[in-house]
């Protein structure tokens, strides 16, 4: 599904990442956005994309993009490939330890390209 959202340049800086087919359905990739490692996942038949940090706070390695995606009670999530803790793909909240959460990013598909909202002002 193509989300033809108006680009609100004054508020959000959308960074172009890659063509949608570069992400195999139901897997993730890692993108470098202004020195930050961001894990982007393509989920389900609706072709939603989600972005959270690629950093796994439990193993302290940058690996979340290589986890298995799925859902817990309908919440889209990824399991870290190292010690298998699960993270909510929308909020970055860890589902197995309520005290842990990681940064989340807005992501969308525009004309078959994946874009992620950048937080820093000078990136892009």
CB of 122 to another protein, least distance (A): 18
- List residues near another protein by CB under 8 A: 17-18, 22-27, 29-32, 37, 40, 43-44, 55, 59-63, 66-74, 76-77, 79, 81-82, 84, 86
Residue whose CB is less far from another protein, 6 or 74: 74
CB of 92 to another protein, least distance (A): 15
Residue whose CB is less far from another protein, 8 or 16: 16
Residue whose CB is less far from another protein, 2 or 16: 16
CB of 9 to another protein, least distance (A): 20
Torsion of CA 50, 22, 81, 104, to 10 degrees: -20
CB of 96 to another protein, least distance (A): 11
Quick one: which of 27, 24, 35, 4 has its CA closest to 115? 4
Name, in order, each residue with C-beta under 8 angstroms of 56's C-beta and a sequence gap of 6 or more.
Answer: 62, 63, 64, 80, 82, 83, 85
How far apart, in whole angstroms, are the C-alpha atoms of residue 88 and residue 50?
A: 10
Provide the β-strand partners of residue 113.
19, 110
How far apart, in whole angstroms, are the C-alpha atoms of residue 50 and residue 42?
A: 7
Residue whose CB is less far from another protein, 31 or 109: 31
């Amino acid at each position: 599904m193509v989300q033809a959202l108006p680009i609100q340049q004054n508020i959000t800086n959308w960074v172009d990442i890659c063509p949608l087919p570069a992400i195999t359905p139901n897997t993730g990739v890692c993108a470098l956005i202004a020195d930050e490692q961001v894990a982007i996942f393509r989920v389900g038949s609706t072709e939603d994309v989600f972005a959270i940090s690629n950093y796994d706070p439990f193993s302290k390695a940058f690996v979340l993009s290589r986890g298995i995606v799925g859902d817990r009670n309908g919440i889209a999530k990824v399991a870290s490939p190292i010690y298998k803790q699960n993270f909510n793909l929308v909020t970055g909240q860890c589902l197995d330890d309520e005290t842990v959460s990681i940064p989340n990013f807005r992501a969308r598909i525009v004309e078959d390209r994946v874009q992620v909202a950048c937080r820093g002002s000078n990136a892009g």
